Amino acid sequence: MSSELIRTSAAAIGAAIAAGEVSAVEVARAHLDRIAAVDDRVHAFLHVDAEGALAAAAEVDRRRAAGETLGPLAGVPVAVKDVLATKGVPTTCASKILEGWRPPYDATVVRRLREAGLVILGKTNMDEFAMGSSTEYSAYGPTRNPWDLGRIPGGSGGGSAASLVAYEAPLAIGTDTGGSIRQPGAVTGTVGAKPTYGGTSRYGLVAFSSSLDTPGPCARTVEDAALLHAVIAGYDPRDSTSIPAPVPPVVEAARRGATGDLTGVRIGMVREFAGEGAEPGVSAAVREGIEALVKLGAEVVEVSCPHFVYALPAYYLIAPSEASSNLARFDGVRYGLRVGDDGTHSLEEVMSLTREAGFGPEVKRRIILGTFALSSGYYEAYYGQAQKVRTLITRDFTAAFEQADVLVAPTTPFVAFPFGSRTSDPYQMYLADLFTIPSNLYGGPAISVPCGLSEGLPVGLQVMAPTMADDRMYRVAAALETVVPPPVPPALG
């Protein structure tokens, strides 16, 4: 039973618990057992909260037995990326500077999970402070891709994506600043959605780049992602850029898409993304995916977004600039590590020694890069110019969405790559974000959905939608799923 349970969709687990066919505690135990059996090889988790999970599951069972009506995901386990604050449960951002930190409060996303009765299994591995595309920048060692343990699971949210494909969790939470939900989804053969910026709250999300950071759902099916999206999204007065509007009807859209009918939907292919940017196998799989969408009734139009080629350079100025400011809070005073406080060093020296010891190489590179881009003499040419390019990218999207309902592209240019192949040249790592970044700069939603294999490894197709039209991408992604079912990874044993 437990081997079936862990391979079941979140929607079906929720329904089985509601019908009394299985208890939430049994479901939690099955997943905790799976984590105990395989996570020494996968390393998706930085912290497993077995006690908290079983207590939360028991509470769901108690409430159900008392006759309460609970939500569709009540009792369903979820893994949470270690960048979101969880009260009393270690939250490290995969950094040594926050080792052992137990937040005194819950992030809004975490609070909403608890209120909906989801069972938090633990905290997932990531690139340090969400900076990276492989989890190789985690201070606690990388996560391995269950498709091939010698390859990366994507990043920064590689732990969340790997936990799904290792059947350690049916649902996971990620955060997407430049592709950190979608690229791990693509390379693990799972679904990852970045909601509209401001559609999900940043309260309690440790800030990397505040104008871009967006929490979102990770799942093995489109419907599961939509169900989780509906739980975590919505206005939050504690986030000053939270959008005060109703959550788009994502679950309804996913179910409509699952009928396999896309009649009347206009799909825009971005001309500038159709070139040689992606590996041939990735391009071929995505082309086949688009042909499948056409067979379901969609109409393909070609759109031009001339500034998309400048999205990557603009992002790698804007995000590090914001990071250099945001990460100034790690000063060895209010939380985390302190080094050199032995009476012989000044406050400033203690700060510098703490940050030197606590941050890893990619975080240091980005802080230095951001400090450069914001420094007088360079500000206008770098950060200021990048902000103007951001405006032009937004205008490209606006024009494209006059011709098309959604845009499609590969999620990432390459399939899961071997460990160590991109760490010596950081810019080669940044290229993983080539196709995901435009939606971050624009703020619109985008989803990665499995789209076949290349060289035996998963490929993701990305569907981008206009701001606050998250439902559109779920409809198209769910329709694709009817003809390209989620790939099944090799057994971990």
Q: Taking CB under 8 A as the rule, does residue 385 contact another protein? A: yes
Nearer of residues 65 and 245 to another protein, judged by Cβ? 245
Q: Taking CB under 8 A as the rule, does residue 417 contact another protein? A: no
- Going by DSSP bridges, is the β-strand pair 214-219/171-176 parallel, antiparallel, or unpaired? antiparallel
For another protein, the binding residues in 289-308 under the rule CB under 8 A are: 307
DSSP three-state, residue 279:
coil
How far is 61 from 65, CA to CA, in rounded Å?
Answer: 6
Nearer of residues 65 and 328 to another protein, judged by Cβ? 328
CB 305 within 8 A of CB 473: no
For another protein, the binding residues in 51-110 under the rule CB under 8 A are: 101-105
Amino acid 253 reads A
What's 384's DSSP letter? Answer: I
Binder of another protein out of 14, 198, 268, 410 (CB under 8 A): 198
Binder of another protein out of 389, 446, 447, 449 (CB under 8 A): 389
Which residue in 134, 180, 439, 448 is the catalytic one? Answer: 180
Which residue in 156, 163, 283, 321 is the catalytic one? Answer: 156
Binder of another protein out of 434, 437, 446, 457 (CB under 8 A): 434
Contacts of 449 (CB under 8 A, 6+ apart): 185, 191, 222, 460, 461, 463, 477, 480, 481
How far is 392 from 438, CA to CA, in rounded Å?
Answer: 11
Active site residue 421: no
For residue 315, what are its two tokens?
């992002």
Q: How far is the CB of 367 from another protein (least distance, A)?
A: 5
For another protein, the binding residues in 318-377 under the rule CB under 8 A are: 324, 328, 331-338, 341, 343, 345-353, 355-356, 359, 361, 364-365, 367-369, 371-373, 375
For residue 322, what are its two tokens?
């914001």
Half-sphere exposure of 120 (CA within 13 A, CB side): 27
Q: Taking CB under 8 A as the rule, does residue 493 contact another protein? A: no
DSSP secondary structure of 238-274 = TSTT---SPPP-HHHHHHHHTTT--TT-EEEEEGGGS
Active site residue 180: yes
For another protein, the binding residues in 222-261 under the rule CB under 8 A are: 237, 240-241, 243
Q: Taking CB under 8 A as the rule, does residue 202 contact another protein? A: no
* Residues known to be catalytic: 81, 156, 180
